[in-house]
């Protein structure tokens, strides 16, 4: 079968999915069942108006997404009690590793202390990261450690811990701080609606996952990691952070007044502090308490003094008996090596579920009776010293949408502010914004994919494993590699994972000195950053005037570092948009000098079906499944960055402490993500894409992608010069860079002005100022038809004419449609218009921009510098529209 049609595909993937068995999982360990509100499932998760945007680098056409993320930051900041939070990280493990790296960056001490009561995968990810930075990780009981040596950069503990205990860390924090050690806390946002927030222990950083706040288990992801810290560390905080600023007309991005968070907390005292989750929580916690009490009455030992939703139980029955009863009830529990059993409850638990648990542990009671017992209430957290007393989620945004009617309208209002692929092409060079088809997306909502715990036994996840195996086989065929690891959650994390594999390979051969990584100066910023994270020393390689790699320079550096050469990182076709004819020689040179080749796979959209990295000499690549293989960008994630390797690197792929993808005999260097197979739940998208296209379709897609880029480059040639082309064929690859640098001199126009002006034409800008400063990089992909390509070219040609009008003095050099772009509806319909160009020129600059389809930027040009100087990254108060 060469390819599969859409209906058949859905039937097939449903069969695959149904090989997964949906048992009730009370395993916990950072992954909990939760109810995903259907309105959010349908209106956000399954809605291309929300899933197909790019990262909000062009804020004027991304205000909706930005507001959503700001709400998220406010939520995290409120619940943890810390002043600032970022707009998410890949997962809890990564967030924890970032937290400890921050501690090290701040005080440069060589040692980190990690509590032995963390989730095992968090410990592994942290250990793996610190190892490459040359840092020592001590895993210990944090209550026992002496900080007075002043050599510990940071301490990390978990609250509530992996076994469910709730401890007071005030003394540890005080002790650590008095010796200059920073304090990090992994925590559970849901628990913080009831428990004192970690800020009240004085912690500097809080991390964790927000999965259980409405995101399905999905066999491990995608889920958002969170990161919050004190104001004093904000400049060191990793990840993206949304802030409030003002636009060119002096208005705030969100129509909010600037104010610090402290003021926001105080101001909102009048608003109700009840949210749906809290009401639910109160009921939940009564159930948890009843479970513990009931098990206790039935002679099970429960060491937990205080707990939130997780218990470690020493059962009175034999463990084999417990397992058999759990099997009979189709319930997964956490089985510790010493025979004790972990149970983590969640909001989906019903009375019947609790009664089944009583049965499993040999009890006879019924929850219905226990809830009447006053002893149960005595056990509740809300009676303890840990009861949260500070308010949270007091901002009107969290308290104004009480009906489905209101929340649907709020979601739609935000959606309408953003440009996504449902409006027009997003020709971002190197980002491959292509069609994310409905058929590909549908399986992501199948319950047999969404409702599986990542640590469920293998015989319950056969569907997922079939999916992994088939996708691995297809990706190996496409790339020429022998083995795939699905653990990395992004391209950048794939780079880190691949480089660590290379290091591990060298070390296994006794080659312990190889730490030099050659990287062309045109490389994507993640390349050198990943090399540094992997503990390598970066040596830049020159790029020639025509944009190709300087092979002479490469050769001399490779020879110079012959004994220390670890690897080369290159991108092919190059970041400059050309197929470099020397690529095979370049790989050869590296191998001859004992190095390995890391090929950045972001540009696979120019290669699939035509050539394979594994054939022309590369040893390892990451594949951005959220570029070439159709996972939508989601406005900045989730994505997947699996790595493909040649067989000699296969033994060195990432492992996992709970479910090891490599089996018991692996020689892995460690773990890069919290989940063994990364964001498994979005892999059906890439699987479906490959199956529906078939080999011929995939090759055709690549050919059309290259054709489209060359077509646009040619159409634009009389107006904009393409910076780099192949010297032999005069062609570009699947993307190309146009030169706009001269306009600075002739018309005082910069790339940013053109980018903003494109919004008035209804388009998202191409990639700006990368890889060449002051230029634009265009990638049309195969998904766009000739009509759309022509529309985009017409916009750029029309903009070229506007620039000419400035050059010729027909338009004012300061106040012209480019410098003043983008134009908002408010500006254009205002009764005062004092610009030396017309309103029509401002808002309807081309024949295809029509009143009935016009996309209006909702703010005028955003002032980035102002925002950086006046950092506000939680929702500022008072929004007239809420009141
Ligand atoms: C997108 C990209 C990356 C990074 O991928 P992420 O998934 O965003 O981390 C690396 N290199 C190149 C050339 C890219 O275009």
Tell me how far the alpha carbon of residue 30 lies from the centroid of ligand 1, in angstroms.
Answer: 28
What is the 522 CA–ligand 1 centroid distance (Å)? 13
Cα separations in angstroms, 528 against 439, 452, 521, 534: 37, 36, 10, 10
Mean pLDDT of 615-638: 94
pLDDT digits (tens, 9 = 90+) for 770-811: 999 999 999 999 999 999 999 999 999 999 999 999 999 999
**Would you say residue 257 has pLDDT above 70?**
no
With CA atoms as reference, report the closest residue to 274 among 403, 401, 398, 404: 398
Average pLDDT score, the chain:
91
- β-pair partners for 342: 312, 334
CA of 426 to the centre of ligand 1 (A): 16
Closest-CA residue, ligand 1 atom 2, reads 602
Gap between the Cα atoms of 650 and 620, Å rounded: 10
Which H helix or E strand runs over 84?
strand 84-85
d(CA 434, CA 632): 8
Q: Check: CB of residue 480 under 8 Å from CB of residue 572.
A: no
Which ligand 1 atom sits closest to the C-alpha of 493?
A: 9
How confident is the model at residue 267, as a pLDDT? 31
Distance 723 CA to ligand 1 centre (A): 21
How far apart are the C-alpha atoms of 522 and 116, rounded to whole Å?
43
Is the pLDDT at 430 greater than 50? The verdict is yes
Kindly indicate the confidence band of residue 283, based on its pLDDT and cuts at 50, 70 and 90: low
Give dist(CA 287, CA 363) in Å, integer: 16
Q: Measure CA of the first residue to CA of the last residue in the chain; give whole Å.
A: 59
Chain CA centroid to CA 850, Å: 36
Atom of ligand 1 nearest to the CA of 626: 7
Across 542-603, the runs of DSSP E, i.e. the strands, are 565-571, 596-600
Q: How far apart are CA 476 and CA 483, in angstroms?
A: 7
- Could you tell me the sign of the dihedral formed by the alpha carbons of 673, 676, 679, 683, in that order? positive
* Ligand 1, atom 6: closest residue by C-alpha: 491
Choose the residue to mutate in 530, 575, 624, 766 for probing ligand 1, maximizing ligand atoms within 8 Å of C-beta: 624
C-alpha span between 870 and 486 (Å, rounded): 40
Predicted pLDDT of residue 284: 54
Q: What is the pLDDT of residue 255?
A: 30
Task: Name the least confident of 49-58, 96-105, 587-596.
Answer: 49-58
Give dist(CA 163, CA 663) in Å, integer. 26
DSSP helix/strand/coil, 162: coil
Cα of 421 vs centre of ligand 1, distance in Å, is 19
Q: Is the pLDDT of residue 863 over 90?
A: no
Does position 196 have pLDDT exceeding 80, yes or no?
A: yes
Expressed in angstroms and rounded, the spacing between residue 614 Cα and the centre of ligand 1 is 19
**Taking 70 as the threshold, does the pLDDT of residue 878 lie above it?**
no
Ligand 1 atom index nearest CA of 639: 7
Q: Please give the backbone phi and psi of residue 159, each rounded to the nearest 5 degrees, phi first.
A: -145, 110
Three-class SS of 717-759: CCCCCECCCCCCCCCCCCCEEEECCCHHHHHCCCHHHHHHHHH
Region 2-23: mean pLDDT is 96
Taking only the tens place, the pLDDT of each residue in 94-118 is 999 999 999 999 999 999 999 999 9
Minimum mean pLDDT range among 34-43, 215-224, 524-533, 862-871: 862-871
C-alpha–C-alpha distance, residues 693 and 675, integer Å:
29
- Which residues lie with the beta carbon below 6 Å from any ligand 1 atom? 430, 490-492, 524, 526, 571, 575, 600, 602, 624, 639, 641
Q: Residues with Cβ < 8 Å from 832, sequence gap 6 or more?
A: none
Q: Is 850 exposed, middle or buried (0-12, 13-18, 19+ CB in 10 A)?
A: exposed
Pairing of strands 205-209, 182-187: parallel
Say what the pLDDT of residue 665 is. 65
Choice from 521, 575, 602 to test ligand 1 binding pocket (greatest atom count within 8 A of CB): 602
The atom of ligand 1 lying closest to the CA of 526 is: 10
- Nearest ligand 1 atom to alpha carbon 494: 9
Question: Which residues fall within 8 angstroms of residue 235, CB to CB, at 6 or more apart?
Answer: none
What is the spatial distance between Cα 815 and Cα 835, in angstroms, rounded to a whole number?
7
The CA 547 to ligand 1 mean position distance, Å, reads 19
How many Å apart are CA 698 and CA 605, to the nearest integer?
9
- Local structure of residue 55 (DSSP, 8 states): P
Cα angle 707-710-712, degrees, rounded to a multiple of 5: 110
Residues 229/205, Cβ–Cβ less than 8 Å: yes
> Measuring CA to CA, how many Å separate 870 from each of 70, 243, 293, 861, 863?
15, 9, 51, 17, 11
Ligand 1, atom 5, lies closest to the CA of 491
Q: DSSP characters for 188-199?
A: -TTGGGTBPPGG
Centroid of chain to Cα 687: 20
Q: How far is CA 558 from CA 199, 564, 587, 590, 732, in A?
A: 50, 9, 11, 6, 28
Q: How far is the CA of 574 from the centre of ligand 1 (A)?
A: 13
CA dihedral 656, 660, 663, 665 (to 10 degrees): 20
For ligand 1, atom 11, which residue shows the shortest CA distance?
524
Cα separation, 455 vs 335, in Å, equals: 11
Cα(586) to centroid(ligand 1), Å: 22
Give the rounded percent of residues in the chain with a pLDDT score beyond 90: 75
**Main-chain dihedrals φ then ψ at residue 86, nearest 5 degrees:** -95, 175
Distance of CA 776 to the CA centre of its chain: 25
Q: Is the pLDDT of residue 880 over 60?
A: no
Residue 446: band (very low, low, confident or very high) from pLDDT cuts 50, 70, 90: very high
Residue pLDDT, tens place only, 321-352: 999 999 999 999 999 999 999 999 998 988 89
Measured from the Cβ of residue 807, the count of other Cβ atoms closer than 10 Å reads: 16
Dist. CA 818–CA 797, nearest whole Å: 13
Residue 739 sits at φ, ψ, to 5 deg, of -90, 125
Q: Is the Cα torsion angle 246, 252, 258, 261 positive or negative in sign?
A: negative
Protein residue with least CA distance to atom 14, ligand 1: 602
Q: How far, in Å, are 609, 700, 775 from residue 709 at the CA level?
A: 17, 14, 16
Going from the C-alpha of 785 to that of each of 421, 552, 584, the distances in angstroms are 13, 41, 33
**pLDDT score for 635:** 82
Tell me how many degrees the CA angle 821-827-832 measures, rounded to the nearest 5: 125
Candidate of 90, 430, 636 to mutate for ligand 1, largest count of ligand atoms within 8 Å of Cβ: 430
For ligand 1, the distance from its centroid to the CA atom of residue 539, given in whole angstroms, is: 20
Average pLDDT over residues 24-42: 92
* pLDDT tops 60 at residue 285: no
Dist. CA 285–CA 828, nearest whole Å:
55
pLDDT for the residue numbered 70? 85
Please state, in angstroms and rounded to a whole number, the distance separating the CA atoms of residues 871 and 616: 48
Statement: residue 170 has pLDDT above 70: yes
| Residue from 34, 68, 35, 74 nearest 49 by CA | 68
Is the confidence at residue 261, as pLDDT, over 50? no
What DSSP string describes 346-404?
-TT--HHHHHHHHHHTT----HHHHTT-HHHHHTSGGGSTTB--S--S-SGGGTS--SH
Q: How far is the CA of 603 from the centre of ligand 1 (A)?
A: 9
Q: How far is the CA of 630 from the centre of ligand 1 (A)?
A: 14
279 pLDDT above the threshold of 80 = no
Task: Quick: pLDDT tens for 535-572.
Answer: 999 999 999 998 999 999 999 999 999 999 999 999 99
> Is residue 135 within 8 Å of residue 176, measured between CB atoms?
no
Of 81, 80, 178, 158, which is closest to residue 113 (Cα–Cα)? 158
């Amino acid at each position: 079968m060469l390819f599969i049609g859409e209906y058949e595909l859905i039937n097939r993937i449903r069969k695959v999915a149904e090989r997964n068995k949906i048992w009730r999982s009370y395993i916990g360990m950072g992954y909990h069942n939760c109810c995903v509100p259907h309105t959010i499932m349908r209106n956000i998760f399954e809605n291309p108006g929300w899933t197909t945007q790019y990262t909000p680098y062009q804020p004027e056409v991304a205000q909706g997404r930005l507001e959503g993320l700001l709400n998220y930051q406010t939520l995290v900041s409120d619940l943890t009690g810390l002043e600032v939070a970022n707009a998410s990280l890949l997962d809890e493990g990564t967030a924890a590793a970032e937290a400890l790296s921050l501690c090290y960056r701040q005080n440069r001490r060589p040692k980190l202390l990690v509590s032995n009561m963390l989730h095992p995968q968090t410990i592994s990810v942290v250990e793996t990261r610190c190892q490459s930075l040359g840092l020592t990780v001590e895993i210990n009981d944090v209550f026992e450690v002496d900080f007075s040596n002043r050599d510990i950069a940071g301490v990390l503990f978990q609250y509530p811990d992996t076994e469910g205990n709730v401890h007071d860390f005030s003394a540890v924090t005080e002790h650590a701080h008095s010796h200059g050690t920073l304090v990090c806390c992994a925590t559970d946002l849901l628990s913080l609606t009831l428990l004192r927030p970690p800020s009240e222990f004085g912690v500097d950083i809080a991390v964790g996952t927000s999965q259980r706040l409405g995101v399905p288990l999905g066999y491990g992801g995608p889920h958002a990691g969170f990161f919050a810290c004190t104001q004093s560390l904000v400049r060191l905080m990793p990840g993206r952070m949304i802030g409030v600023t003002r636009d060119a007309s002096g208005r705030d991005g969100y129509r909010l007044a600037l104010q610090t968070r402290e003021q926001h907390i105080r101001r909102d005292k009048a608003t109700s502090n009840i949210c749906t989750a809290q009401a639910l929580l109160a009921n939940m916690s009564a159930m948890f308490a009843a479970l513990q009490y009931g098990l206790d009455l039935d002679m099970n030992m429960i060491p937990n003094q205080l707990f939130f939703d997780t218990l470690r139980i020493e059962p009175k029955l034999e463990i084999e008996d417990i397992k058999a009863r759990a099997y009979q009830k189709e319930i997964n529990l956490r089985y510790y090596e010493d025979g004790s059993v972990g149970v983590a409850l969640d909001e989906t638990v019903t009375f019947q579920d609790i009664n089944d648990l009583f049965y499993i542990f040999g009890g006879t009671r019924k929850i219905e009776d226990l809830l009447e017992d006053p002893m149960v209430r005595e056990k509740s957290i809300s009676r303890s010293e840990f009861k949260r007393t500070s308010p949270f989620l007091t901002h009107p945004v969290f308290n104004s949408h009480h009906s489905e009617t209101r929340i649907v309208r709020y979601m739609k209002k935000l959606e309408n502010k953003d440009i996504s692929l449902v409006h027009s092409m997003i020709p971002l060079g190197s980002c491959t914004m292509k069609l994310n088809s409905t058929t590909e997306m549908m399986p992501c909502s199948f319950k047999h994919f969404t409702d599986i715990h990542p640590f469920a036994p293998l015989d319950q996840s056969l569907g997922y494993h079939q999916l992994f195996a088939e996708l691995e086989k297809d990706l190996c065929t496409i790339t020429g590699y022998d083995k795939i690891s699905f653990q990395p959650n992004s391209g950048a994390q794939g780079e880190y994972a691949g480089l660590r594999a290379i290091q591990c390979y060298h070390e296994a051969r006794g080659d312990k000195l190889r730490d030099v990584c050659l990287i062309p100066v045109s490389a994507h910023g993640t390349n050198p950053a990943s090399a540094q994270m992997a503990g390598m020393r970066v040596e830049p390689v020159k790029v020639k005037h025509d944009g190709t790699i300087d092979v002479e320079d490469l050769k001399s550096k490779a020879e110079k570092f012959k004994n220390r050469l670890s690897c080369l990182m290159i991108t092919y076709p190059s970041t400059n948009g050309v197929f470099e004819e020397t690529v095979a020689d370049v790989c050869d040179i590296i191998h001859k000098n004992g190095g390995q080749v890391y090929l950045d796979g972001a540009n696979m959209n120019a290669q699939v079906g035509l050539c394979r990295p594994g054939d022309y000499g590369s040893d390892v690549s990451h594949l951005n499944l959220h570029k070439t293989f159709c996972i939508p960008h989601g406005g900045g994630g989730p994505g997947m960055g699996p790595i493909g390797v040649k067989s000699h690197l296969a033994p060195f792929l990432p492992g996992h402490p709970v479910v090891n993808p490599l089996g018991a005999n692996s020689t892995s260097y460690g773990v890069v993500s919290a989940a063994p197979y990364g964001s498994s739940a979005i892999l059906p998208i890439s699987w479906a894409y490959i199956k529906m296209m078939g080999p011929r379709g995939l090759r055709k897609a690549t050919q059309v992608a290259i054709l489209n880029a060359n077509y646009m480059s040619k159409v634009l040639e009389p107006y904009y010069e393409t910076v780099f082309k192949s010297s032999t064929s005069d062609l570009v690859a699947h993307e190309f860079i146009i030169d706009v640098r001269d306009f600075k001199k002739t018309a005082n126009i910069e790339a940013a002005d053109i980018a903003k002006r494109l919004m008035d034409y209804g388009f998202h800008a191409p990639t700006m100022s990368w890889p060449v400063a002051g230029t634009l990089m265009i990638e049309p992909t195969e998904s766009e038809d000739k009509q759309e390509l022509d529309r985009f070219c017409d916009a750029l040609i029309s903009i070229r004419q506007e620039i000419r009008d400035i050059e010729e003095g027909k338009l004012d050099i300061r106040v012209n449609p480019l410098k003043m772009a983008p134009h908002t509806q408010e500006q254009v319909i205002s009764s005062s218009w004092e610009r030396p160009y017309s309103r029509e020129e401002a808002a309807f600059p081309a024949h295809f921009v029509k009143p009935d389809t016009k996309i209006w930027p909702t703010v005028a040009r955003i002032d980035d510098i102002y925002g950086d100087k006046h950092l506000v990254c939680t929702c500022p108060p008072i929004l007239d529209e809420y009141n």
